[in-house]
């Protein structure tokens, strides 16, 4: 009599089920990582686009173009609540709860924006990734 016993068949089926479940879990994990990578790429591209648009602004108009006063030393605008930054909202439209924050600081050497020796511009793109808040930041100095 040839063939497999019931015990051998059950062991083979349980091994096969374990392999299939492990493969399914690995595929689900890979899909989540792929989606997270895509969101990070979108955020980095948005931050780069905002940084480039700010670089095209003339130095002495940058601060006031974002709604700041020329006598200030620090300005921060957020696309969720400031009209000056709302123009960048479409860049993060594909990100869950996506937003753009731009921070402009006058570098030491003067008592106001116009008297400073340069500006530090920080662009932050944030979004909700699963249960945690994620962000990408780009920082540049203009002199």
Q: Indicate whether 1 belongs to any domain.
A: no
Total structural domains within the chain? 1
Domain that holds residue 127: 6-142
Q: What is the DSSP string of 4-63?
A: --HHHHHHHHHHHHHHHHHHHHHHHHHHHHHHHHHHHHHHHHHHHHHHHHHHTS-HHHHH
Q: Indicate whether 49 belongs to any domain.
A: yes
Residue 138 tokens read as: 């780009």
Q: Indicate whether 111 belongs to any domain.
A: yes
Q: Is the pLDDT of residue 109 over 80?
A: no
Q: Indicate whether 33 belongs to any domain.
A: yes
- The whole-angstrom separation of Cα 118 and Cα 37 is 34
Count Cα atoms within 13 angstroms, Cβ side, for 40: 8
Q: Indicate whether 102 belongs to any domain.
A: yes
Look at residue 135 in the predicted model and tell me its pLDDT.
94
Confidence (pTM): 0.80
Dihedrals φ, ψ of 24, to 5°? -65, -40
Condensed to tens digits (0 to 9), the pLDDT of residues 90-102 reads 999 999 999 999 9
Look at residue 1 in the predicted model and tell me its pLDDT.
65
Condensed to tens digits (0 to 9), the pLDDT of residues 6-22 reads 999 999 999 999 999 99
């Amino acid at each position: 009599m040839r063939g497999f016993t019931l015990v051998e068949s059950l062991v083979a089926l349980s091994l096969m089920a374990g392999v299939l479940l492990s493969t399914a879990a690995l595929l689900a994990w890979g899909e989540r990582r792929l989606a997270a990578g895509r969101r990070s790429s979108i955020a980095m591209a948005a931050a780069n686009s905002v940084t480039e648009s700010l670089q095209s602004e003339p130095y002495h108009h940058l601060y006031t173009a974002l709604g700041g006063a020329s006598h200030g030393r620090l300005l921060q605008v957020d696309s969720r609540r400031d009209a000056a930054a709302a123009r960048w909202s479409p860049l993060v439209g594909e990100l869950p709860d996506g937003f753009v924050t731009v921070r402009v600081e006058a570098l030491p050497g003067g008592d106001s924006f116009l008297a400073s020796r340069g500006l530090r511009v920080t662009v932050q793109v944030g979004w909700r990734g699963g249960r945690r808040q994620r962000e990408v930041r780009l920082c540049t100095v203009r002199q």
